[in-house]
Structure 1
Amino acid sequence: MLSIDEIKTLMKEMDSSSISELKYESEETKITLRKTSALTEKTVIQPTPVQVAAQPAAAPEVAAKTDSNAAPEQEPSLHKITAPMVGTFFSSPKPDVEAYVRKGSKVDKKTVVCIVEAMKLFNEIEAECKGTIVDILAEDGQLVEYGQPLFLVKED
């Protein structure tokens, strides 16, 4: 059996080496030591804002033009239906069944728009607003994150 001092010595040796995991087993003792890097646990990389150079005098006119192909999510009147949990997005209750909604479908607050499966539980997601589906932002079988926009709805 290892003594506390021997375990401490192992920990110090492991800390000064490149070994990340050590398992020790005997008839009476079983020990696993794991080393994690402080960098991997605490480092968060955030994007740096980009400085935009001053535009020539003609630039405001170019910026004032509206792009007819602009994404619908830029419209302020659209409601986003978001994922309430991490899981897998399904547009229909079964693979061989038609999707709950499509672009142009009318929905009300209680209309089921999709399923998010998490840990073998199939959670029906409701529209939570009355309107028309403008865009479907997730693909069938796609892993979605909490808060990720799934649908855009133009409210009535």
Structure 2
Amino acid sequence: MKRSELTEFELEEEGFKLRLSRKNGDVIPQIVHAAPMAATTPPFPVATAEAPAPEKPAEEKGISVIKSPMVGTFYRAPSPESAVFADVGTKVSADSVVCIIEAMKVMNEIQSELSGTITEVLVENGEAVEYGQPLFKVKTA
């Protein structure tokens, strides 16, 4: 405290308060335990046992799922005026681009990595997606 010429320092965290004060060159530490905080509603939703689990696509024989390789925003077409990359009934190969995921202002083309026919699109255009989230169902040969 002498080097920085501080005369007082106070730190307060959950249930703990530390105050250092320098008077006449002497440092006098004071530790005060704050009263426990009253229970309040947390600022974010808390999952409860009754909350339904997110729906997972049912595993079907001969059906594979194309999953998101990253977190971002899902787009079905390269621009609003363009046709979609893949729709129900579209035949895809392993290197077919099926959508774009925007992450940090970068447009990432997502390839099918499967060969087959798209049977279902599981995400809406412009929707936020998470890593590993199912995007399309593909009927493999």
- Determine the structure 2 residue equivalent to 1:79: 64
The correspondence of residues 15-54 of structure 1 with structure 2, limited to 5 A, is: 15-16=14-15, 45=47, 47=49
Tell me how far 1:76 sits from its aligned partner. Answer: 3.2
Percent identity, aligned pairs only? 44
The correspondence of residues 1-156 of structure 1 with structure 2, limited to 5 A, is: 1-3=5-7, 6-7=8-9, 10-12=10-12, 14-16=13-15, 45=47, 47=49, 73-156=58-141
| Unmatched 5+ stretches in structure 1 | 18-39, 49-71
| Unmatched 5+ stretches in structure 2 | 17-41, 51-56
Alignment partners' CA distance in 2, 1:46 and 1:16:
27
TM-score by length of 2: 0.65
CA RMSD in angstroms, aligned pairs only: 3.2
* Runs ≥4 residues deviating over 2 A: 14-17, 44-48
Q: Deviations over 1:53-95 (max 9, x none)?
A: xxxxxxxxxxxxxxxxxxx744132111011110000000011
Tell me how far 1:16 sits from its aligned partner. Answer: 3.7
Alignment partners' CA distance in 1, 2:117 and 2:58:
14
Alignment partners' CA distance in 1, 2:6 and 2:65:
59
Amino acid at match of 2:11: M
More strand by percentage: 2
Tell me how far 1:47 sits from its aligned partner. Answer: 4.3
Q: Deviations over 1:102-134 (max 9, x none)?
A: 101100000000000000111000110110001
